[in-house]
Amino acid sequence: MRITFKLIISLIVVVVFVAVVSAWLNVRHEKVKLYEEVLSRSALLAESFKESVRNNLAAKNYASVQRLADKFQSQKQLEGVAVYDSGGTRIVSSSALTPVLAVHKEAIDALLKEGRDNPVTYAMAEKKMFLYPLFVALDGGDTARIIIFTNVSYIDYNLYKIWKRTLIRLLVQMVLISLVTLLTIRWNLVDPVIQMAEWMKNLRMGNAHGHVPPIKGDIFAPIAREATTLATNLQAARRAAQNEARLRQEGESLWTPERLKELIKMKMDGRPLFVVSNREPYMNIKEGKDIKTIIPAGGLVTALDPILKAAGGTWVAHGSGEADFEVTDDNNRIKVPPEEPAYTLRRVPLSKEEEDGYYYGFSNEGIWPLCHIAHIRPIFRKEDWKYYYEVNKKFAKTVLEEIADVKEPCVLIQDYHFTLLPGMIKAVRPDARVAVFWHIPWPNPETFGICPWQRELVMGLLGADLIGFQTQFYCNNFLDTVDRTLESRIDWEHFSVQKEGHTTIIKPFPISVDFQRPDRDAKALGEKPELKTVLKEMGLKAEFLGVGVDRIDYTKGMLERVKAVDRFLEKYPEYVKRFTFVQLGAPSRTHIPQYHRFLAELHAEVDRVNWKFKAKDWKAIAFLEKHYDHKEITKFYKIADVCMVTSLHDGMNLVAKEFVAASDDHRGVLILSRFAGASRELKDALIVNPYDIEQMADAIYYSLTMPKAEVEERMTRMRQDLHENNIYKWAANLTEELMKLRMDDFKLTSV
């Protein structure tokens, strides 16, 4: 047995050694040969180009030189040619090469400063370039420099194929050797291998100790000893990495999922995070006989899903999908996301009457228009209030079940659907750390006083330890409302409210997005979207594109946006048949009469504008009314020249931030309403008053005529701010503040 095993190993080692050495020699020879071919071809082309343009360069006839440079870029593997003067300034370059040279200007300048004639290779635009420089002596003693750019990526690919063929042959040989001996030794080999693999899997997942379990036979004894040592070292390395991450919390500037996860573990002592919202992050619907998982539209899901993926825990939400409860367990729980479970989703079932009264009625016909000053009259009904109270009570019961076995649990409640929930939770679990984040605006006291149950709503919110708003302005409005509504002690210096022995801190936490998500969505597209291709799919042609992405809601300024496009085309008729505005509209709250009326008015206004500027193969406005996933939305962000976010009143509006995050090439202009919370952060957007149609029309014109350098500068600054202040930083700030407040509170109590 030992001899057989040694023979197998010896044969495999010899085969591997011979194959690898042979392949290495072959690769080295092939590499030298291919680069010599590129060098000789580049030298020949450089000399040819030199003789063709010498006189034109001396006469400064750069147009002729440009034509010759463009002809050169069409040859096989030749990316193009560039000509520089004696001072290192680019005179002419092949058209296709010009953008690449602009991006890699510093590297090219360094090469020119060195003044070398030696060819070099350099990575440019995801390609490996071979740069062949050549001096040109001009009349009068002046000189110029020619650089031939050849794409040599194919060389690496050819060498890769040699290695691949070698490895395939090697694999076949190894399989044959193994099969010859496997028939006689499989009973002594298979069981130990399976046992070892299972142990390694558990070790990788953190469920195994550092010692290999007893394995039949002595064949694996040496491996078992080494595996034990490796496992011990791995566990030590894991502990060291976690400690290092903790130590770096204070000094690290960029927030990532990993950093957030470590911070929450450190701050919460390994306790899970509990999030409560009306909308669920994942919904199950039926497609024929199959059940499909979709991600509902909305900024709340966009903001919070990455946090739970990073931190782990439980998300409690209304199960509104038609197949939601067909895939949950007996306790209405399911692990999400489906492809890579990271946290638990606990779904709460609601009857049609409960949903109509609590959600469509009190929340969205009452509180929503009350807080958004969009000139829609709020409606408050006693029966809606009853359902609102009962649903808050049902959610409180569910949350209390989830946190029953958790010491000092941390609960993060979302938005206006659950104003009563903080007080209900704290009444049963005073040790719970409870935070509320209010995503929408908070109006002034006079406006909020319209609500017949304003006192109950404010009292419910003050059950929380921390209330977060999008801006400081909304914090001020809330404290003013408390001052007018309840007898309490308000500390304006520290922005806190003390009521019945409980202190609530009020702070702004501007919400953000996962900065890296558009990059992942863009990679999922397969190839970079192009304006002509996307418009062709819609049966349209245009040179410039504007985009809007919204839930269909009267607060989003969609009617005003349509009127602005209408006025823009009136004032600047040269853009008729050249500019198209695409509005992506996700249907929302279709059971509410105001939304029916608004949608009908929006359709009528879009039809009016399109009829007014009717033309073949072109539309002024393309209104796409359906739910789009992030990948599809990212496609439009990347091809848009301008994105319009014209909310009449908005807490933040994450569409503005998503557009900036998607602009990895630093193009595109953001037109942003001054009534959206995002305008307080994205100051390099074109800030407009959505009620001023003339101003918005002019903003569209300016965005299309803005110098490219200014566009890039504005977008660069916004992206830098968004990169630093991403969703993970928002979550970290909120969590840290909540944990700090509770700890401070305990200290005061103990004193």
CATH topology of domain 33-157: Beta-Lactamase (3.30.450)
Rg (C-alpha) for the chain, rounded Å, is 33
CA distance 716 to 591: 42
- Contact call for residues 623 and 604 (beta carbons, < 8 A): no
Could you tell me which CATH class the domain 517-724 is placed in? alpha beta
Please indicate, yes or no, whether the overall pTM of this predicted structure exceeds 0.85.
no
Instruction: Give how far Cα 441 sits from Cα of 58, 118, 206, 358, 729, Å.
Output: 67, 63, 45, 20, 21
DSSP state of 214: P
* List of E strands, 377-465: 410-414, 433-438
Closest CA to 708 of 670, 679, 669, 682: 669
Catalytic residue chosen out of the listed positions 521, 550, 566, 650: 650
- Secondary element (H or E) of residue 383: helix 382-402
Strand 579-586 relative to strand 544-551: parallel, antiparallel, unpaired? parallel
Closest CA to 399 of 353, 362, 434, 440: 434
The answer to whether residue 290 is catalytic is no
Residue 399 β-bridge partners: none
Q: Dihedral sign, CA of 651, 654, 659, 661?
A: positive
Sheet of 90-93: strand order equals 90-93, 78-85, 143-151, 127-137, 120-124
Q: Look at residue 365 in the predicted model and tell me its pLDDT.
A: 94
Q: Look at residue 749 in the predicted model and tell me its pLDDT.
A: 36
CA distance 558 to 585: 9
Peptide bond into 337 cis (omega under 30): yes
- Contact call for residues 408 and 326 (beta carbons, < 8 A): no
CA distance 727 to 300: 11
CA distance 637 to 312: 30
- Contact call for residues 324 and 347 (beta carbons, < 8 A): yes
Catalytic residue chosen out of the listed positions 439, 514, 521, 630: 439
- What does the angle CA 703 – CA 625 – CA 440 come to, to the nearest 5 degrees? 70
Q: Look at residue 689 in the predicted model and tell me its pLDDT.
A: 97
- What does the angle CA 52 – CA 57 – CA 63 come to, to the nearest 5 degrees? 85
CA distance 360 to 589: 7
The amino acid at residue 456 is E
- Contact call for residues 136 and 145 (beta carbons, < 8 A): yes
Ranges of the chain with pLDDT below 70: 1-5, 7, 11, 74-76, 115-117, 125, 140, 178-196, 199-253, 297-300, 302-303, 519-526, 742-751
Closest CA to 510 of 472, 459, 560: 472
Residue 132's SS3 state is: strand
Contacts with 330 (C-beta within 8 Å, 6 or more apart), sequence order: none
Q: Look at residue 238 in the predicted model and tell me its pLDDT.
A: 64
Where are the CATH 3.40.50.2000 domain residues in the chain?
A: 273-345+392-508, 517-724
Q: Token digits for 120?
A: 């070099």
- Contact call for residues 447 and 453 (beta carbons, < 8 A): no
Residue 142's SS3 state is: coil
Where are the CATH 3.30.450.20 domain residues in the chain?
A: 33-157
The alpha carbon of 66 is separated from its chain's Cα centroid by a whole number of angstroms, namely 41
The CATH homologous superfamily for domain 273-345+392-508 is: Glycogen Phosphorylase B; (3.40.50.2000)
Closest CA to 5 of 223, 212, 205: 223
The answer to whether residue 650 is catalytic is yes
CA distance 459 to 442: 15
